[in-house]
Structures are given as structure tokens and as C-alpha cells.
Structure 1
């Protein structure tokens, strides 16, 4: 019944996965700071693609924007869950009189000093700001593409990015001043 068409669709999905899996993993890892969480999110993105995508199953700007939007939303949701989980864990630790280092259990691998400073500066941003900065700086997306992915106007993207970059610069400058010997 679905013989040739099913094989064609499977082949098309495999092409999409091979084209976008790595860039999506990098994007989501940069937002979440956790490769394991990123893998789960990207896997969910492709599951949603196979069940929800109604356009042509071929690489291009439409499917790329859709994939990044779904990955973006998944990453933001994961950050919110992680923040809630961290707050609950911290509250429990305070109840029993323990101290919990903020990075415990986040699954981040050690980074070189400069990369760690950038990661810490990114962590000072809101989820939305962080995601937009990653799209602009690391993914080199245009404001229009970012607007489509994030569901914002181009003007709003520009404003948020401007504010976020000022925060990043201040955070990195502050960190750099502390490191002077």
C-alpha cells in the first residue's frame, strides 16, 4: 500500500536528518549548555517533523525555519524546566542544611577558560536573549530568519539582540576586570 511512497518519504526524512541534525545539536547545546539534553530535544524535533510537517520533505529555508523554531522552543522549555528543578533542589538542600553548587548535575563538560567565561556570560541572559544571541552569533542567522524561528518581529529581534549584547559585553568586561593580576 505505501511501498514506494513510504520508502521515498523515509529516504527524504533521512536526508533531512543528515542535513540538519548536527547544526541543530550545536544550536541547542549552545542554548542549554548540555549535550545530553540537546540530543533529546533534537530527537523530539525530528519525531515532530515526521508527524506534523505538511510541506515538501526536502532541505530548504521553509523546513529549516520550522526545525529551528521547534528546536528553539524545546530548548527554552528545557531551560525553564532546569531552572525550576534547580530551584526545587536548592530549596530542598536549604531545608536539610546542605549547600548545592549551582553547576552540580547540569552535565556540562569542562571548557577552556575563555569559553567558560562566554558560557557564564550567556547564562546571565534570559532564555529568549540567549537563544537569539546563539542564532545571530553562532548560527549566523539574519534578523528575518531569527524572527521567523522565534516568532517575533524583526524590530523586536533587533531590540532584544542589542540589549543582550550590551549585557554580554558588560558581563565579560566585569569578568575580565576580576581576572587582572
Structure 2
């Protein structure tokens, strides 16, 4: 490891360790596990110097993706679920509620980054099923303003999710 690689790793840690720990703590609710996940994500960055060379924004996205995947892998493990192995595989695959829950937490965390106006219209339109006309009346603004807030709010939400390592599916 050369000095520039070490300097990049230190800068990566200094800039991203604390926010990454808060993010993982929201996902896990477990201080010790969150610290272990952040340590593992930073260790993987150290082992993968190409990540460091991509710049701070790409490195941050990579770290959040790695941390999220570590949490998902931990939750899926037999140890986490306290499962006993089966000799036969179940006939019907079940959806993974852990990934769905983590996605929900990730979106909720990203929503906190939006302005109150954007957050309000997104939550009321997409989660509460309110129409543009209903929102315009409720918020006492023109329907065009509601549509504009939805457009720019979704754009800001997409950026907030990308900062957390979520890419388009």
C-alpha cells in the first residue's frame, strides 16, 4: 500500500464513517452490528483501491451499497434467522421480507433529506393515494404547483437514494 492509497482511505473514513454508521444503525437497530458492518465495508474499500480512485461521490455510493448488502446477507443467514437446515427445499419460493424492510427504511431515510413541501406531496400522493386535485385543495396551492413539487421531489428523492448506493432497477 502506498502513501496516497493510505491518504485516500483515511479521507474516506473521515468523510463517510459517521454517516455510514448512522445509516447502518437505522437498518439494523444494533450498535455493535452496525459498527461491524461499517468496519467491514471500509475494509473492503481498503482491499479494493479502484473504489478510492473513483472520487468521493462514487466511493460513498459504493460504501452504502456494500454496507446494505452486508446487512442483507447477515439477515438472510441461518444464524440470524435461527433456522435449522432442511433436507428438502420448499416447493414454493417465498419473498424476502428482510430486503423489503431494508428498502422501506432506505426510502424513509432518503425522504428525510427532502424539503417539507416535496416530502408532503410525495408521501400523500404515493403512500396515501391522494390525487393532485385533492392535494391542491388540501395544501391550498394550484394543481400545477403540486405536479411541480411531485416532479422535483421525486428527482431529489432519486438523488438521495443514489447517494445511499441505490441504483435504478
The 1-side partners of 2:100 and 2:159 are apart by 16
**1:126 Cα deviation after fit:** 2.3
Q: 1:38 to 1:132 in 2, by over 3 A?
A: same
Q: Indicate yes or no: 2:16 matched with 1:20.
A: yes
Q: Indicate yes or no: 2:124 matched with 1:127.
A: no
Match of 2:81 among 77, 80, 84: 84
Where does 1:1-181 land on structure 2 (aligned, <5 Å)? 6-57=2-53, 60-81=56-77, 83-85=80-82, 87=83, 126-139=97-110, 140=113, 142-143=157-158, 146=161, 149-150=165-166, 152-153=168-169
Rg (Cα) greater in structure:
2
Asked if 1 retains the 8 angstrom alpha-carbon contact of 2:60 and 2:165, the reply is no
**1:34 Cα deviation after fit:** 0.7
Q: 1:53 to 1:72 in 2, by over 3 A?
A: farther
Q: 1:12 to 1:146 in 2, by over 3 A?
A: same
Structure 1 unmatched runs, 5+: 89-124, 154-181
Q: When the two structures are superposed, what TM-score results if normalisation uses the length of structure 1?
A: 0.52
- Across the aligned residues of Structure 1 and Structure 2, the Cα RMSD in angstroms comes to 2.8
Q: Which runs of 4+ in 1 moved over 6 A?
A: none
Local SS of the residue matching 2:165: helix
Asked if 2 retains the 8 angstrom alpha-carbon contact of 1:16 and 1:58, the reply is no
**1:133 Cα deviation after fit:** 2.5
Local SS of the residue matching 1:149: coil
Q: 1:25 to 1:14 in 2, by over 3 A?
A: same
Aligned residues: 112
Q: 1:19 to 1:59 in 2, by over 3 A?
A: farther
